[in-house]
Amino acid sequence: MSHEDDEVEPDEDGSAALGPLVAETPDPQLTALLEHLREQRGFDFTGYKSASLARRIGRRMAAAGVGSYEDYQDRLSVDPGEFDALFDTVLINVTAFFRDADAWEHLRTEVLPRLLARRTGRLRVWSAACASGQEPYSLAVLLAEALGPEEFADRVKIYATDVDEVALATARNGLYDEREVAGVPEQTLARWFEPVGDRFQVRKELRRAVIFGRNDLIQDAPISHIDLLLCRNALMYFNAQTQAQIVRRLHFALEPHGVLFLGKAEMLLSHPDLFQPLELRRRFFRKVVGEPRRVAMPLTGAAPADAVPPEDLSRLWEEALLQAPAAQVVIGRDGVLVASNRRAQSLFAIGPRDAGRPFHDLEMSYKPVELRSSIEQVLAARAPLWLRDLSWQRVGQRPVSLDVQVVPLLTSDGEVLGVTVIFNDVTRYRELQDQLEQANQHLEAAYEELQSTNEELETMNEELQSTNDELNSSNEELRLRTAEVGELAHFLEAVLGGLRAGVAVLDDDLRVLAWNERAADLWGVRDDEALGRPMGDLDIGLPFDRLRPLLVAHANGLPAEDVVRVEAVNRRGRTVDLDVAVSPLRRGGAGADGAIVVMTVVG
């Protein structure tokens, strides 16, 4: 299983400090379905974020024409082949050679030379959640070029694992089409790949160095004594408890000098006892050697069995920071944005992906107030600074009143780590004060009005925050799905995407190029029976003679009616009224290459 798409949902959503983002309460029927998948196929999805998981399963259910989890579980019981379609939807195996070129260049020029100089013997590398193999083969190319083919064969062993056996089968072959090798430099392609028909295969000397195998990051033991561990954009899809479990396994897998390479969408700010950043912007981390930090328990006389586990306290602490009502950001002493809570992300239109950017590049560094000079003053004086009664008018939104506090972050020894900036939204209090001043003579009426206004503002605030989270999540899912379908999406989305009507795509000779499931259901003609035949020759209850002039006109780019209503007979022998919409099919250039026919049952 790999989730290597860093151009995406969020849901769940951009670069994120690994940890809880939202409180999730799974649907009992969804939980029952997940238990069924674990019992029948050994896939345990209970550690995934339930909102994201529910959306992906819902997408597959919609494609299968099933309306409830319970009905879908019945469908899986009678149609074992549906398991494969479901896993293809949930296990988003999206990857590419040298994905995030800047990070791979840093790996080539900085990380690998240090590792190779320190590790004079065999180098052990683990590519976890490797999908169809592009990531471990990219690494093999870098190591072979750094060491030379002979030393590479003697010194390097790469373990590549995933939970998806179908993806692993593709990876073992090392055979990729032209689109899949588009990101490989031409010189690298010529040296390390061999043409096989219209595809390219990774050379045998690289394939021999990579051992592919199934490994579930949640359930299976980690590979040990690893010098370099790649686990890119997989962690962000798990809930906080599962993330913590996996991160500890990755920590165990690494040698003391080991390096962890994460994806662009992930950070480890909530696990400072396990990993410290080597290069935060490019997501390289070093293992922290020694005992993981212990959380001191209060001296209340409670028995050890009553103590809260350290990971739960860590999660509670992080969740408290993320959900704090005041917007808050943390800036390192080097001027880089380190973290932000949810309120800050909503207020300033920033996201977890902005972590690692220079603070002065962000609009919030000078709006609603110039903060750069204030931060410099706080760092120099090592004392907090208040900026009060600031008014901020955002485009299209109500003015906001803010009290801003800039606080230095110091170690116990007085060393400056950075600053935290807290934006206290005092808008409600300013409004309340103004309204109370105007309502001295009408106290009772003013009280009811203020109460109603306060409740409305609270509701709007919750709805806006929820909508923002959902939009970010949906955007991430959309990018993942777009990458997954590849080039075919450009054609299929134009013709069939999202339509529930019967659709036929015709060439300029009115022969059927595409025939969707709704058309098959409407007329009782399968797509394999319709494809390649003139639509007029199909034995269906559509008055084609009436439509032929309209179709011919559109197929040749001539002006004609766009929609016509006709009476037809469906596959069940029933008379139905149809709205038949026709538009020209254009696959490039100004002319028409055919026609798109959309048949909608009226009533």
Domain co-membership, 544 together with 522 = yes
Is there a domain that residue 420 lies in?
yes
pLDDT at 371: 92
Domain co-membership, 251 together with 349 = no
Domain co-membership, 143 together with 177 = yes
Residue with tokens 């009772």: 444
Domain co-membership, 331 together with 239 = no
Q: What is the CATH number of the domain that holds 93?
A: 3.40.50.150
Given a cut of 90, is residue 438 above it in pLDDT?
no
Domain count, the chain: 3
Q: Which residues of 463-498 are buried (b: 16+ CB within 10 A; e: fewer)?
A: eeeeeebeebbbbbbebbbbbeeeeeeeeeeebbee
Domain co-membership, 393 together with 274 = no
Of 369, 394, 425, the one marking the end of a domain is: 425
Is there a domain that residue 451 lies in?
no
- State the DSSP H helix or E strand holding residue 319, giving kind and residue range, or none if neither: helix 310-322
Is there a domain that residue 527 lies in?
yes
Of 368, 397, 425, the one marking the end of a domain is: 425
Question: Would you say 214 and 168 are in contact if contact means Cβ atoms under 8 Å apart?
Answer: yes
Measured from the Cβ of residue 186, the count of other Cβ atoms closer than 10 Å reads 7
What long-range pairs does 536-545 form, CB within 8 A, spacing at least 24? Answer: 536/510, 538/512, 540/568, 540/571, 541/568, 541/569, 541/570, 541/571, 542/566, 542/568, 542/578, 542/599, 543/567, 543/568
Query: pLDDT tens-digit profile of 223-279?
Result: 999 999 999 888 877 887 888 889 999 999 999 999 999 987 777 767 888 998 888
Domain co-membership, 317 together with 355 = no
pLDDT at 511: 93
Domain co-membership, 125 together with 57 = yes
Q: What is the CATH number of the domain that holds 563?
A: 3.30.450.20
Q: Which domain holds residue 221?
A: 1-291+313-323
- Overall average pLDDT of the 314-323 stretch: 68
Per-position DSSP letters for 114-167, written without gaps between them = HHHHH--S-EEEEEES-TTTHHHHHHHHHHHHHH-HHHHHHHEEEEEEES-HHH
CA distance 420 to 160: 40
Domain co-membership, 377 together with 507 = no
Query: What's the length of the chain?
Result: 603
SS3 460: helix
Is there a domain that residue 574 lies in?
yes
Task: Report residue 425 as tokens.
Answer: 């939204």
In terms of pLDDT, which residue wins out, 468 or 102? Answer: 102
Of 425, 458, 481, the one marking the end of a domain is: 425
Q: Specify the range with the lowest mean pLDDT, choosing from 41-55, 261-275, 383-397.
A: 41-55
Is there a domain that residue 407 lies in?
yes
Query: pLDDT tens-digit profile of 5-36?
Result: 433 333 333 334 443 333 445 678 888 888 88
Is there a domain that residue 485 lies in?
no
pLDDT at 125: 95
Task: Report residue 139 as tokens.
Answer: 């690494």
Confidence of residue 171 (pLDDT cuts 50, 70, 90): very high
CA distance 139 to 158: 9
Domain co-membership, 285 together with 362 = no
Domain co-membership, 318 together with 359 = no
Query: pLDDT tens-digit profile of 79-110?
Result: 887 877 787 777 766 688 999 899 999 999 99
Q: Specify the range with the lowest mean pLDDT, choosing from 52-56, 298-302, 428-432.
A: 298-302
Domain co-membership, 4 together with 141 = yes
CA distance 158 to 228: 9
Query: pLDDT tens-digit profile of 188-222?
Result: 999 999 999 999 999 999 999 999 999 988 888 89
Find the angle CA(152)-CA(156)-CA(160) to the nearest 5 degrees: 125
Angstrom distances, CA of residue 119 to CA of 34, 222, 551: 43, 21, 70
Domain co-membership, 345 together with 317 = no
Is there a domain that residue 206 lies in?
yes
pLDDT at 5: 41
Q: What percent of the chain has pLDDT over 90?
A: 30
Is there a domain that residue 503 lies in?
yes
